[in-house]
A and B are shown apart, each in its own frame.
Chain A
Amino acid sequence: MKKIFKNQIALALAGILAGTSAVAGTLVINGDTSDPAPKAAFQAVIDGFEAENPDVDVVYNLFDHEGYKAAIRNFLSADAPDIAFWYAGNRMAPFVEAGLFAPIDDVWADQGLYSLMASSAPGMTMDGKKWGIPFTYYNWGVYYRQDIFENLGITVPTNWDEFIAAGETLKANGVTPITIGTKWLWTAGGVFDYLNLRTNGYDFHMALTSGEIPWTDDRVRATMANYQQLIDGDFFLENHAALSWQEALAPMANGEAAMYIMGNFAVAPLKELGLDDNSLGLFQFPEITPGIPMAEEAPTDTIHLTAGAKNVVDAKRFLAYTARPDVQTAWNKALGQLPTNAGAGVADDKFLNQAFKMLNDNAPGGVAQFYDRDTKAEMASIGMESFQEFMVKPERLEKILERLEKARQKLY
């Protein structure tokens, strides 16, 4: 009786093993490409991969973009897919530290990514290892009403004085210089990032966001003084704390405001509101402290091999596929964003071409991920809330900096 039972177990085990080898060709991917364009773009990537690798069957589990941020914590530890979407920089740190992502230095070496993806490499590196493939990024910059600038005879500002002067001219003509909606906070993070990157440089900014520098430091105060100059000069849209970033697009589209410090994703909705390549332009955030190398913001989206992956071999084949220049070219054309692989091509679009050039030729300082991706999550939330408060109540500067410093000491 006992022996028969044992045999049965052995049989069952054999069955399970046979089962796993039979599904070895199944590759499970969890992602958050829930908007129509990213969804279609990634489906094309899957189709292309399956066509080249007929032995692999890709199972893609699509999550809602916002819900994914909570879901990933559960599925990575409970029932890990082979590949998961995520973000570069400090955002992936919790998963790397908890041992839920696996390093893929071999893929980077095989594909020659150390040179081809040099600009995004720092954001993928932790403990000296590479933890994923960056497949797309998008630029930030100052999107502006080219036609208004031309009508008022304003040239694109390249330094702080010109920027302030441009704003004064706009105000004199009844145009709000900068539109912004800070209801969901992160837009204020973008403004702070640029001011700090230009006032103090990339290295200082990264040191500050990783908690190595006190918020009461004089160099932070210098950044805040520039910030305050814009606030006191009424550069920003009134009532911005009540508006979402989308609601703040309208004043720009109807000519009440002329500039928006924003990411590339604002171009599509602005064009829907009636602007075109002649009325909408992009310029690099102007220099503030002379001599500091220009650094840019370019948040990167990534895919990762999970530590619990069952099909590591095919997962690495897929990751290598997504790093390829031709794949990245097609993928990012569909996304309307920029490929991370320097060998890839860019879609024929005024803003993408300009941004690609800006990031590759005129960002020697480095590429930051964005305030809430470079900073620890909890610090980021307190920080962005404080920037919003500062923009409405600049007289509270001292209190705000002390609060941020207190949070820094606690969290780092």
Chain B
Amino acid sequence: MYSYWKNNQLKIAPWIFLAPGILMFSLYVVFPIFQSINLSFYQWDGLGTKTYIGVENYIELLDDEYFLVSLKNNIIWLVLYLLAVPAGLFAALFLNQTVRGIRIYKSMFFFPFVISQVVVGLVFSWFYAPSNGLLNVILEAFGFNSIAILAEEDYVTYGIIAAGLWPQTAYCMILYLTGLNSVDQEQIEAGRIDNARGWRMLWYVILPQLKPATFIAVVVTIIGALRSFDLIDIMTGGGPWGSSRVLAYYMYEKAFSEYGFRMGYGAAIAVVLLMIMMIYIATILYRLYRDERGD
């Protein structure tokens, strides 16, 4: 026994250290995933008995216009939310200088990420308010008609994404600021000697060195886009007439809200959301794997 431990210590020890994490992860993450997938084949109101109905929940999803709107909005979120990455980069480049009081400016730029999403949502709701919101005051000052962004089905999602971009840009900016600290000065000087300036310097010298920061910023932003919930709940409650819902919000409404309690249907929406996330998670895992092998 003792010699077995001695011979295999290096192999076993990591697993012992990993065990608590693996246990928790399987119990609270992996197991519920399979539980949800299972639940999506049932009809259940959360109180009575569960009835097995096969793939009927999924068939219903295909014919559910609210689901399709939510899916479309999720895709808009995914694409537009990524604007936070370049925006964060430029904010970081702008702030990456040594001026008196720069720390105060950095803190102020980072501020939206520190405050709660609820506050962000409220601030933007007031900003968009149709009668006395700042946006409409400005629009009217320039002679445009006022517009109730949060009550227009065509604009509402973009309005909420703009609110979401504010804190997300701050987050990406911090990631880039830390990245910029570790940019190799010698390479920049070498670039200077080779007459690289401005955009070319950024593109060919700085950005490649920021690759790890970019990778994390993109991953965090995509996950943030798929998880978007708080802002929608605070700013519109999914409205007007359901046109600003995303899958996570629709799932919550169908499963847990006052008018929901269709657990099976909610689970089916969650499974679709999981599938979308899997595309990204798989890509990320593959890239991590490839990078670690050093290809």
Contacts and interface: CB of A to CB of B under 8 A. Distances in A.
Interface of A: 69-70, 73, 77, 94-95, 97-98, 100, 182-185, 238-243, 372, 377-378, 380-381, 385-386, 388-389, 392, 403, 410
A388 B259 contact: no
B259 A377 contact: yes
Given A100-B47, A241-B240, A392-B241, 6 more contacts: A94-B47, A240-B151, A378-B259, A378-B260, A386-B241, A392-B151
A385 B60 CA distance: 19
A73 B259 contact: no
Contacts of B242: 385
Interface string B248-263: 0000010011111110
A239 B240 contact: no
Nearest to A379: B259
A403 B259 contact: no
Interface of B: 45-48, 60, 65, 128-131, 148, 150-151, 236-237, 239-242, 253, 256-262
Contacts of A239: 130-131, 148, 151
Contacts of B259: 372, 377-378, 380-381
Contacts of A403: 65
Determine which residue in A100, A239, A389 has the highest number of CB atoms from chain B within 10 A of its CB, and name it: A239
A182 B239 CA distance: 10
Interface of B is mostly: loop
B53 to A, nearest CB: 13
The 9 residue pairs across chains A and B that have the minimum distance between CB atoms: A381-B259, A241-B151, A242-B151, A389-B241, A239-B130, A242-B148, A239-B148, A241-B240, A98-B47
Contacts of B240: 182-183, 241-242, 388-389, 392
B131 A183 contact: no
Interface of A is mostly: helix
Given A97-B48, A242-B150, A377 B239 contact: no
A388 B237 contact: no
Contacts of A95: 47
A389 B256 CA distance: 24
Contacts of A73: 46-47, 261
A94 B45 CA distance: 9
Contacts of B253: 381
A296 B46 CA distance: 33
9 contacts: A77-B47, A242-B130, A377-B261, A381-B260, A385-B241, A388-B240, A389-B240, A392-B151, A392-B240
Contacts of A381: 253, 257, 259-260
Nearest to A74: B46
Given A377-B259, A377-B261, A386-B241, A183 B130 contact: no
A241 B237 CA distance: 11
Contacts of B47: 73, 77, 94-95, 98, 100
Contact of B239 (A69, A70, A241): A241
Nearest to A384: B259
A377 B262 CA distance: 10
A385 B239 contact: yes
B130 to A, nearest CB: 4
Contacts of B60: 410
A100 B45 CA distance: 14
A69 B261 CA distance: 11
B241 A183 contact: no
Nearest to B259: A381
Nearest to B49: A98
Given A389-B240, A389-B241, A403-B65, A378 B262 contact: yes
A259 B242 CA distance: 27
Contacts of A372: 259
